Copies of this chain bind each other. A is one copy, B any other.
Amino acid sequence: MNSMLTRMGGFGSPEDASINSITLFVVLLLSCVVIGHLLEKSRWMTESVIALLIGLLTGTIILLTTGWKSSHILVFDEELFFIYLLPPIIFNAGFQVKKKQFFKNFMAIVLYGVVGSMISFAIISLGSIQLFKGLDIGVLDLGDYFAGICFFFPFGSNIFTQKLIDCEVLNQEETPLLYSLVFGEGVVNDATSVVLFNAIQKFDLSHITSANILQFVGNFFYLFLTSTLLGVAVGLFSAYIIKKLCFARHSTDREVALMFLMAYLSYMLAELLDLSGILTVFFCGIAMSHYTWHNVSGSSKVTSRHAFAAFSFVSEIFIFLYVGMDALDMEKWKFASKSPWTLVASSGLLLCLVLLGRAAFVFPLSSLANLFRKSNNDKITFKQQVVIWWAGLMRGAVSVALAYNKFTRSGHTQLQGNAIMITSTIIVVLLTNVVGGLLTKPLIRLLLNPHKHSGISVDSDLSPSKRLTLPLLSNEHESESNVDIGNPLDSNRTVHHYWRIFDDSIMRPVFGGRGFAPVAPDSERDVILR
List the interface of chain A (C-beta within 8 A of B): 1-9, 15, 18-20, 22-23, 26-27, 29-30, 33-34, 36-38, 40, 78-79, 82-83, 144, 147, 150, 166, 193-194, 197-198, 201, 241, 245, 247, 249-254, 256-258, 260-262, 264-265, 268-269, 271-272, 274-277, 297, 299-300, 302-303, 305-307, 309-310, 313-314, 402, 405-406, 409, 463-466, 468-470, 473-474, 524-525, 527-530
Assess whether A465 is in contact with B276, with CB atoms less than 8 Å apart: no
| A-B interface, 6 closest residue pairs, ranked by CB to CB distance from nearest | A1-B271, A252-B465, A307-B307, A256-B310, A303-B306, A23-B268
| Known A272-B1, A310-B260, A465-B252; contact A147-B530, beta-carbon cutoff 8 A | no
Assess whether B303 is in contact with A251, with CB atoms less than 8 Å apart: no
Residues of B within 8 A of A314 (CB): 257, 260-261
Complex Cα gap A372–B306 (Å): 47
Rounded to whole Å, the gap between the CB of A266 and the closest CB of chain B is 10
- Number of this chain's copies in the assembly equals 2
What residue of chain B has the Cβ atom nearest to residue A24's Cβ? B268
Assess whether B250 is in contact with A9, with CB atoms less than 8 Å apart: no
Assess whether A9 is in contact with B406, with CB atoms less than 8 Å apart: yes
What residue of chain B has the Cβ atom nearest to residue A303's Cβ? B306
Complex Cα gap A275–B3 (Å): 6
Residues of B within 8 A of A194 (CB): 3-4, 7
Assess whether A310 is in contact with B9, with CB atoms less than 8 Å apart: no
Q: List 24 A-B contacts (CB under 8 A).
A: A1-B272, A6-B198, A6-B201, A7-B194, A8-B147, A9-B147, A18-B79, A23-B269, A26-B261, A29-B261, A30-B262, A34-B241, A37-B251, A37-B254, A250-B463, A250-B464, A251-B465, A253-B306, A257-B313, A261-B314, A469-B529, A473-B528, A524-B524, A527-B527
Residues of B within 8 A of A463 (CB): 249-251, 530
What residue of chain B has the Cβ atom nearest to residue A15's Cβ? B79
Assess whether A530 is in contact with B265, with CB atoms less than 8 Å apart: no
Assess whether B38 is in contact with A529, with CB atoms less than 8 Å apart: no
Rounded to whole Å, the gap between the CB of A74 and the closest CB of chain B is 13
